Amino acid sequence: MSIFHHKKWLILGLSLLTGIYAEAQQTGAVTNRAPNPTPGMMPGPRQPQPIQTPTYLADYFVPATKDVSVPDEKGFIRRWMLLEPISKPNRSNTVFTDSYLNQAFDTLYFKNQFTVFPKDGEKVKVGKQKLTWHALDSKLYNVKLYRFAAALKKPVYGVLFWAVTIIDCPEDIENVRLSAGSNSASKWWLNGEEVLLLSGDRRMVVDDCLSRRLTLKKGRNILRGVVINGPGMSDFCVRFLNENGTPVKNMTISNQ
């Protein structure tokens, strides 16, 4: 058989295969693609994304000791009581408007939520969840909430994180501002008074938002915060700045 006839039969065979595949696509016989959604129906919920890399708590935190801590060289507070994440499903961070956040953050999830200073290992009940408080020192200036949850095999998306710490001052420190950055949105209270709200879908940026002028009282001050996250990473950083924008460091930090 000549080369011409070989080419002719090859072209004919390829044409037949192409036609068979096209017909299979039209009749639904090709099954390696997702079916089209039924007209008028919303797509199903987004499936949780797997954690891409193994996470160990010791990579980002060390257990807090009974000795007091101090802010780091740039004034960031690294000692915190962190509560395991509360489930708060959100398919997107774009819903984090002021009104949505105020409702979500002011909801009472557990007893004495806005007044308690918990002990390490203390448990709270949130709906059907039993969650534990952890006394930790962050190895980094920004507290890695995503890594905290992942290391404990807890949900990392669609969650709320509560954090609280004690700041002891040797004297009144006036005209300071709470400076915070968070991923995603967050709210902060000093001594029971709301002082700062970071709204919207945002990344963690140092000194992203500043509170009004505040006074850190002589003695004990309690700083409390909550961070919400839908998909993506989650962390925060917090420090106090004085009138000229330099970090306030004449304080000690404790968890009891």
CA atoms of 11 and 214, how far apart (whole Å): 81
Give the CA distances from residue 179 to residues 29, 88, 134, 165, 191, in Å, rounded to whole numbers and listed in that order: 59, 26, 24, 15, 16
CA atoms of 53 and 63, how far apart (whole Å): 22
Residue 46 has pLDDT above 80, yes or no: no
Among 176, 231, 167, 241, residue whose Cα is nearest residue 208: 241
| Cis peptide bond upstream of 211, omega within 30 | no
Q: How confident is the model at residue 15 (pLDDT cuts 50, 70, 90)?
A: low
CA atoms of 230 and 95, how far apart (whole Å): 9
Rg (C-alpha) for the chain, rounded Å, is 26
> Which residue ranges form the domains of the chain, and what is each CATH number?
57-254 (2.60.120)
Residue 84 has pLDDT above 90, yes or no: yes
Q: How confident is the model at residue 13 (pLDDT cuts 50, 70, 90)?
A: low
In this predicted structure, what is the pLDDT of residue 24?
Answer: 42
Q: pLDDT tens for residues 216-253?
A: 999 999 999 999 998 889 999 999 999 999 999 999 99
Q: How confident is the model at residue 184 (pLDDT cuts 50, 70, 90)?
A: confident
CA atoms of 240 and 196, how far apart (whole Å): 12
Q: pLDDT tens for residues 137-146?
A: 999 999 999 9
Exposed (0-12), middle (13-18) or buried (19+): which is 45, by Cβ within 10 Å?
exposed
Using DSSP's 3-state secondary structure scheme, residue 74 falls into coil
Average pLDDT, the chain: 84
Residue type, 5: H
Residue 99 has pLDDT above 70, yes or no: yes
Among 65, 57, 79, residue whose Cα is nearest residue 238: 79
Residue 7 has pLDDT above 80, yes or no: no
User: Where is pLDDT greater, at 170 or 22?
Assistant: 170
Q: How confident is the model at residue 54 (pLDDT cuts 50, 70, 90)?
A: low
Give the CA distances from residue 93 to residues 90, 129, 194, 203, in Å, rounded to whole numbers and listed in that order: 7, 23, 22, 11
Mean pLDDT across 114-140? 95
Residue 108 has pLDDT above 60, yes or no: yes
Residue 28 has pLDDT above 80, yes or no: no
CA atoms of 230 and 158, how far apart (whole Å): 4
Q: How confident is the model at residue 35 (pLDDT cuts 50, 70, 90)?
A: very low
